[in-house]
Structure 1
Amino acid sequence: MKKVLFIVTNLDSGGIENYLLRFLKNYNGFILPSVLCKDGKLGALESEYRQIKNIDIIPFKIGFFDITALYRLKKRMEVEKYDTVVDFGGNFAGLTLWMASLANIKNRIAFYRGSANHFNETFFKLKYNDFVKNMVLKHATSILSNSKAALNFFFKGMNDSRFEIIYNGIDSEKFLITKEDLRNELQIPDNAFVVSHVGRYTKEKNHQTVLNTAFILCEKHEDIYFILCGKGVDTEFKQQVLERKLEKRILLLPFRRDIIKVLNSSDVFFFPSYTEGQPNALIEALIVGLAFVASDIDPIKETIPIEYYDFLISPNDTMAAVKKIELLYKDKELKREFNLSKWAIKNYQSDILFKQFFNKL
């Protein structure tokens, strides 16, 4: 059984953390997994990770120029004798994979899960980013990504046999196991038209456009409701919603594990992100069969069939979002025809896509 070290930032709920958790559940008992959290903290998913057989969870803080921590990491790798190290940090995997190389670990994987830089691009930060990217190119034995857009952004024009795309996989049978929704719990009328968004509060998710769209639609139509669900959403936007006296129509929910109930409560999924790797939340909405309005960025174009590009908008174009959602609100037949559930279940089968990743380990 292979001994694998997976390196993440922490165990809070996000695309990387949920992907790894699903993968480890899928291959529970087939590998000996260690998960290192390099900000030194764990997170909301810790209890679920601890259900994985033989797992070792390691809070291990590593700073950008933390030579002491890197040395300790190298020593740990030498003692543990991992077969494989996987760092999900994109370019920032460069230093940890260098340590893995020095520790004589033969299989060293950098996994890119975003398609843009997630930092303020100052001169010095960009120089550091170039440095660690070059370390990835020097020390990674495989360079994986969950989208072509990510590889095009970080390695444009490069042709390297180590590059490979592994799309996100979702076990649709387990995900769709419940038909329950939250309408009764949230006091949403049965005949209401519900628009939902799922994602933790970060600037990349563009929650403000979701809210601005909600304000317009809720004021125009008494039977339109919005659900926004994700860590930090309930606290960050509470005051805006209260000021407009829309707290019964725009429902702000914290992180919760039963996302399927949010989606089962919905008619349309609205997802105007500025940037994504490959959006798990959108794929889940597709599997449920929801109509959607989303941003016209390359990772989202890569996730849906080309015939549905008409429902992609510029991320900040609130009025375009209002028009597209209103079209689905008024045309019930169009909304029904929008169902991409069978297509999504076929294209994002977890057993096939997780096996592709497992084979790299």
Structure 2
Amino acid sequence: MKILHLITGAETGGSRKHVITLLEQFSKDEVVLALMHEGPFAEEARQKGIRTEVFSQNSRYDLSILKKLVAFIEEEQFDLLHTHGPRANLFGIYLKKKTGIRWVTTVHSDPSLDFVKSGVKGKVFTALSMYAVKKMDGYFAVSERFKQNLMKLGIDGSKIHTVYNGIHFMKENAEPIPRSELGLTDEDFVMAMVARLHPIKGHTIVFQAMKRIEAEERPHLLLVGDGPIKEELEEEVKNLELNSHVHFLGFRSDVDGIYASSDLALLASYSESFPLALLEAANQHVPIVTTDVGGVKELVEDGTTGWIVPVGDASTYAEALHGAVGRRKKGTLADMGETLYQYASERYSLEQLEQATRHLYTHLIQK
């Protein structure tokens, strides 16, 4: 078995971590990672011992690498192509046509929303992306709900395999980032939101919810991640007069420590499959407030291990934050995080991720 994974290499969020974590479960002879950019992604993959090849583009519209990828696939005699993300999926159409290689994808986001706020080009790329998604031989859905979403796009359900994300669950919490380094105290209520700064992630909903909370009880929000709307979000925080409570931390490699220093983890996305960030929060025994997207109901039990609120509803989100603040005052919030950890660690291991992925690979190769 020899698998080529293709992704742009510019990712900084959950898809990057998912790919690296997955490839670590396979032997060096079984998987190769192909990227379109040198950078932190490539560097991290090599540090993990993953064979990494970069096919650099002059721009995202540079198609000259396609012939190089075709030659690479034929020379190395790969059994399967596994793409991640809309650009890699578009390239997969050409690669399959030229080489005949079997092709599988992990859909990390809703393809109809990948190019939100990208104007006319966004509409064109959305159409191409939707076309590409329907051309694969197999699909990984990271939740049952997301499998249903793919089927609504007209994809044969027999080609879609639900494979839950997995992480290495620690027996002990990570070392918390000292709150003093962030200008915070032990008395402050601290929330962590790990998400790229993109419209689909719903940061605005969180800001609006925070504004509904009285200043003396208002939590502090740690924003981990970077993205195309950073300046827009910073301006919104300023306009809402939340500067003293919203902290932009940028990309961080110590997410576990940030979660360990937090009282609550947040997700406010308009669309997700199965957010890896929530598993990372569970790993640090931190309860969650999340919008009702993707497979979150398969992880979070509303009122027991966190709160699930409707998408785009700032008022209900604020009620959930109020509830979390109240639980902390009563001393029961940490118990919710402990219950979440026990549930997640039993069901979302790296072992199940590797076994389920290998099973589909073997099935497709032997067809």
TM-score, normalised to structure 1's length? 0.84
Which moves more between the two structures, 273-282 or 227-236? Answer: 227-236
CA RMSD of superposed structures (Å): 3.2
Which moves more between the two structures, 287-296 or 210-219? Answer: 210-219
Q: 2:109 aligns with which of 110, 114, 137?
A: 114
Q: How does 1:199-218 map to 2 (within 5 A)?
A: 199-217=195-213
Q: How does 1:71-150 map to 2 (within 5 A)?
A: 71-89=67-85, 93=89, 95-100=91-96, 102-105=98-101, 107-117=102-112, 118-120=114-116, 127-136=127-136, 140=137, 142-150=138-146
Counterpart secondary structure, 1:73? helix
Cα distance between partner residues in 1 of 2:183 and 2:126: 48
Cα distance between partner residues in 2 of 1:49 and 1:190: 36
Partner of 2:180: 184
Matched, 1:12 2:11: yes
Q: How does 1:251-330 map to 2 (within 5 A)?
A: 251-305=247-301, 311-330=307-326
Cα distance between partner residues in 2 of 1:298 and 1:77: 33
8 Å contact from structure 1 (residues 21, 49) kept in 2 = yes
1:230 partner amino acid: G
Partner of 2:343: 343
Which moves more between the two structures, 251-260 or 295-304? Answer: 295-304
1:161–1:94 CA distance, 2 compared to 1 (3 A): farther
2:311 partner amino acid: P
Which moves more between the two structures, 327-336 or 259-268? Answer: 327-336
8 Å contact from structure 2 (residues 194, 223) kept in 1 = yes
1:45–1:133 CA distance, 2 compared to 1 (3 A): closer
The alpha-carbon deviation at position 29 of structure 1 amounts to 3.3
The alpha-carbon deviation at position 289 of structure 1 amounts to 1.9
Cα distance between partner residues in 2 of 1:238 and 1:310: 28
1:245–1:23 CA distance, 2 compared to 1 (3 A): same
Counterpart secondary structure, 1:45? helix
Cα distance between partner residues in 2 of 1:206 and 1:180: 26
User: Hey, which bits of structure 1, 4+ residues long, moved more than 6 A?
Assistant: 62-67
Cα distance between partner residues in 2 of 1:200 and 1:124: 23
Counterpart secondary structure, 1:172? coil
8 Å contact from structure 2 (residues 167, 350) kept in 1 = yes
1:168 partner amino acid: N
Query: Aligned pair count?
Result: 350
Cα distance between partner residues in 2 of 1:209 and 1:264: 24
8 Å contact from structure 1 (residues 91, 132) kept in 2 = no
Counterpart secondary structure, 1:50? helix
The alpha-carbon deviation at position 10 of structure 1 amounts to 1.9
8 Å contact from structure 1 (residues 113, 150) kept in 2 = no
2:353 partner amino acid: L
Q: 2:223 aligns with which of 221, 225, 228?
A: 228
Counterpart secondary structure, 2:213? helix
Cα distance between partner residues in 1 of 2:208 and 2:51: 43
The alpha-carbon deviation at position 276 of structure 1 amounts to 0.6
Percent of aligned positions with the same letter in both sequences? 20
1:342–1:315 CA distance, 2 compared to 1 (3 A): same
Matched, 1:170 2:162: no
Which moves more between the two structures, 232-241 or 178-187? Answer: 232-241
Partner of 2:215: 219
8 Å contact from structure 2 (residues 192, 222) kept in 1 = yes
Counterpart secondary structure, 1:355? helix
2:165 partner amino acid: N
The alpha-carbon deviation at position 103 of structure 1 amounts to 1.9
TM-score, normalised to structure 2's length? 0.82
The alpha-carbon deviation at position 342 of structure 1 amounts to 0.6
